[in-house]
Amino acid sequence: MRKTLTVLIVAALLIAAGAYYWYSKQPNPPTNAPIANVPQSDEPVSVFAENLDIPWDFAFLPDGGMLVTERTGSLLLISTDKSVKEIPLKRSEVRGEGGLLGLTLHPDFKNNRLIYIYMSTPSANGTVNRVERYRFTGSELTDEKLIIANIPGATYHDGGRMEFGPDGKLYITTGDATKGAIAQDKNSLGGKILRLNDDGTIPSDNPFANAVWSYGHRNPQGLAWDSAGRLWETEHGPTGEQGLCCRDEVNLIVRGGNYGWPTIAGDKTKSGMIVATRNSGTDTWAPASAAIIGNSLYFGALMGEALYEATLDGSNVTALKTHFKNEYGRIRTVRVGPDGYLYLSTSNRDGRGTPIATDDRIIRVDPKSLK
């Protein structure tokens, strides 16, 4: 009996050891797999964070936490237990729509811990914008490096969105700083989409001998790539220039493209200039972001106070849906989380909204609930 029991125990140990060895040799899960400790909820819509002060952008960390820029100048770390800690950041100037704006992680952040921040800073000639790179240790920022400076800034039209593209390059949106003519000047950094290497140098395959990738933009604030590698952008339309209103845009961006501002807007055309794939006509979206899931391009709307969903078919927008109209107020940033959910930030404390007691918030949305 004892001999039989001993044999069974030994067999069980051998099986367990074999299973452990097999498991240890399996490949790591893909990098786009959901992060297990991102706070989960069974609700299709839930609040991820609240009591924020004009959150402008946010990025998901590999450990399930989140970094958030507040336009008023704070960089926040929201941990998986929802605790909030401010990360010291030495400079940023809040002026109108300027301040602490875009935020993105290096594609290899897991190994190099590099983050990029777009901020407004004072200069002898007024506000200018710049992009700086830091190494995030988990509690502080180190190894500061200037990526690009002297981006035109003003009280309005500061751009500020940043994303790494499928090509590993850093794309940056800049506004015309209320000086429309600079959007047509390829030597100016204002009114453009810029493209840089991760260290701030200019890629050899850029269309011009500088950082400019496309030009003729008024105030672009959304960038996203579809599954075919096409770059889509959202952009604020005129608010009185040329006697025009509204005409906010969804654009398909091409290398070296001229998107017309301030020469054309809305449905106007001119040879050598690219007309928006979709514009809002006399309605106002004030689109401030872009995120793509499947063939749906989502963007937050400030004046429109909604989440919009544009249906993409190749290079066309075939339909436009509206979600959460007037439910959460001014929606700025939309990002896709590692769990496949949409995360939306409100901007109700920016002086143009009507905040509730817990604003500003980041809302988590199951995209399947929007169908």
Q: Which residues are catalytic?
A: 157
Is residue 332 within 8 Å of residue 288, measured between CB atoms?
yes
Is residue 312 within 8 Å of residue 296, measured between CB atoms?
yes
Structure tokens at 331: 């929606």
Is residue 279 within 8 Å of residue 264, measured between CB atoms?
no
| Cα 129 to Cα 151: distance, rounded to the nearest angstrom | 5
Is residue 84 within 8 Å of residue 96, measured between CB atoms?
no
DSSP 8-state symbol, 10? H
| Cα 170 to Cα 269: distance, rounded to the nearest angstrom | 30
Give 110-169 as a DSSP string. HHH-EEEEEEEEEETTEEEEEEEEEEE-SS-EEEEEEEEEEEE--SS-----EEE-TTS-
Q: Residues 184-193, buried b or exposed e (16+ Cβ, 10 A)?
A: bebebbbbbb
Structure tokens at 53: 């002060």
Using DSSP bridges, classify how beta strands 331-336 and 342-346 pair: parallel, antiparallel or unpaired. Answer: antiparallel
Is residue 207 within 8 Å of residue 229, measured between CB atoms?
no
Is residue 76 within 8 Å of residue 87, measured between CB atoms?
yes
Q: Residues 327-336, buried b or exposed e (16+ Cβ, 10 A)?
A: ebbbbbbbbb
Structure tokens at 343: 């995360």
